[in-house]
């Protein structure tokens, strides 16, 4: 890891656009916060993986956003304690069994008990379970319409789109480039399916992270002078069933799950 002597020294490797997507008013303020330990370098959505590899160590340690997710878990679990499970099951597309709310996520059964604890045989993380609790607590239960839109077209999506591109679509494209069999495994492992219409993409896979929140992954293979491309689409009703901020966190959680699987197994 590079040891920066001052915020100005760190500032030199930043984009210097003052985009505020890190939550701070300027790149210089971000640099100062990184040196104080309040932010991690990878909280900037515009730094390339190569820059991060050079200047930041221990990238597996919790980021500020991950810590915020962990902190929010207690609040959400307290809210679940007051939840009417029967009503929530009707809205979310789940069912109640033995006093637990059961939700089918990505073809796997997730259980939520009356204390808000989420359990599953599937590998999970706060990026996935915090959106799930928000889906159960705040979702309106709007049925999917079948009309697909990009993330930035969701309510408030343009604000979160730079982070979404950096932490969802970009790393997922890198996985797809490296593991051509990724999409077949998405179908096998997460009960995905190949839709008939997928924006003229070479490969398309539809997944169902939560019962009323489908997503569509489209991948265009590289050819001649064109690089590969990947984009994730959501049903236009996604914002009714999950706040857009947590649609972003759900996408990041899914990518992290796939990265973990790729590290342990050959995709």
Residues 79 and 113 in one domain: yes
User: What does the block give as tokens for 146?
Assistant: 């079948």
Residues 166 and 234 in one domain: yes
Say if residues 192 and 214 touch (Cβ distance below 8 Å): no
Q: How far is CA 88 from the centre of its chain?
A: 23
24 vs 18: CA distance, rounded Å: 8
Host H or E run for residue 32: helix 27-36
Positive or negative: CA dihedral 259, 261, 264, 267:
negative
Residue 241, domain member (yes or no) = yes
Residue 194, domain member (yes or no) = yes
Residues 123 and 15 in one domain: no
Residues 240 and 155 in one domain: yes
Residue bearing the bigger pLDDT, 159 or 53: 159
Q: What interhelical angle do 64-80 and 126-138 show, nearest 10?
A: 40
pLDDT tens profile 193-249: 998 778 899 999 999 999 999 999 999 999 888 999 999 999 999 999 999 999 998
Residue 103, domain member (yes or no) = yes
**Domain boundary, last residue among 138, 172, 203:** 138
What percentage of the chain carries pLDDT values higher than 70? 91
User: 126: helix, coil or strand?
Assistant: helix
What percentage of the chain carries pLDDT values higher than 90? 53
Residues 181 and 232 in one domain: yes
The domain of 36 spans 7-55
The CATH code of the domain that includes 22 is: 1.10.15.40
Residues 239 and 167 in one domain: yes
Q: How many domains does the chain have?
A: 3
Residue 1, domain member (yes or no) = no
Host H or E run for residue 193: none
Residues 69 and 23 in one domain: no
Residues 69 and 175 in one domain: no
**Domain boundary, last residue among 138, 160, 188:** 138
Residue 72, domain member (yes or no) = yes
The mean pLDDT value for 62-68 works out to 58
Residue 229, domain member (yes or no) = yes
pLDDT tens profile 4-62: 888 898 998 999 999 988 888 999 999 988 888 778 888 888 887 667 767 765 444 44
Give the C-alpha distances (Å, rounded to integers) separating 170 from 20, 48, 223, 224, 231.
20, 10, 18, 21, 9
Q: Does the global pTM surpass 0.75?
A: yes
pLDDT tens profile 218-234: 999 998 889 999 999 99
Residues 194 and 169 in one domain: yes
Q: Which of 239, 238, 219 is nearest to 229 (CA)?
A: 219
Residues 134 and 156 in one domain: no
Residues 188 and 160 in one domain: yes
**Domain boundary, last residue among 138, 161, 181:** 138
Residues 124 and 34 in one domain: no
Residue 143, domain member (yes or no) = no
Q: Which of 190, 67, 212, 196 is nearest to 138 (CA)?
A: 212
């Amino acid at each position: 890891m590079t040891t920066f002597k001052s915020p100005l020294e760190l500032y030199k490797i930043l984009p210097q656009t003052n985009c505020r997507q890190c939550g701070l008013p300027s790149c210089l303020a971000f640099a100062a916060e990184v040196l104080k330990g309040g932010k991690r370098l990878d909280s900037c959505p515009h730094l390339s993986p190569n820059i991060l590899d050079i200047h930041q160590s221990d990238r597996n340690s919790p980021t500020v956003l991950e810590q915020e997710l962990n902190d929010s878990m207690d609040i959400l679990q307290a809210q679940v304690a007051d939840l009417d499970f029967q009503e929530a099951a009707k809205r979310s597309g789940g069912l109640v069994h033995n006093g637990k709310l059961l939700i089918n996520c990505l073809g796997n059964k997730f259980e939520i008990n009356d204390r808000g604890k989420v359990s599953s045989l599937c590998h999970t993380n706060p990026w996935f379970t915090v959106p799930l609790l928000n889906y159960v607590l705040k979702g309106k239960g709007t049925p999917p319409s079948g009309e697909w839109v990009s993330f930035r077209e969701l309510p408030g999506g343009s604000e979160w789109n730079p982070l979404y591109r950096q932490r969802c679509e970009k790393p997922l494209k890198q996985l797809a480039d490296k593991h051509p069999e990724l999409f077949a495994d998405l179908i096998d492992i997460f009960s995905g399916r190949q839709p008939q219409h997928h924006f003229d993409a070479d490969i398309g896979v539809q997944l169902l992270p939560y019962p009323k929140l489908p997503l569509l992954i489209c991948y265009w293979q590289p050819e001649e002078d064109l690089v590969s491309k990947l984009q994730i689409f959501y049903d236009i009703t996604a914002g009714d069933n999950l706040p857009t901020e947590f649609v972003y966190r759900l996408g990041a959680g899914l990518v992290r799950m796939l990265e973990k699987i790729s590290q342990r197994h050959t995709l």
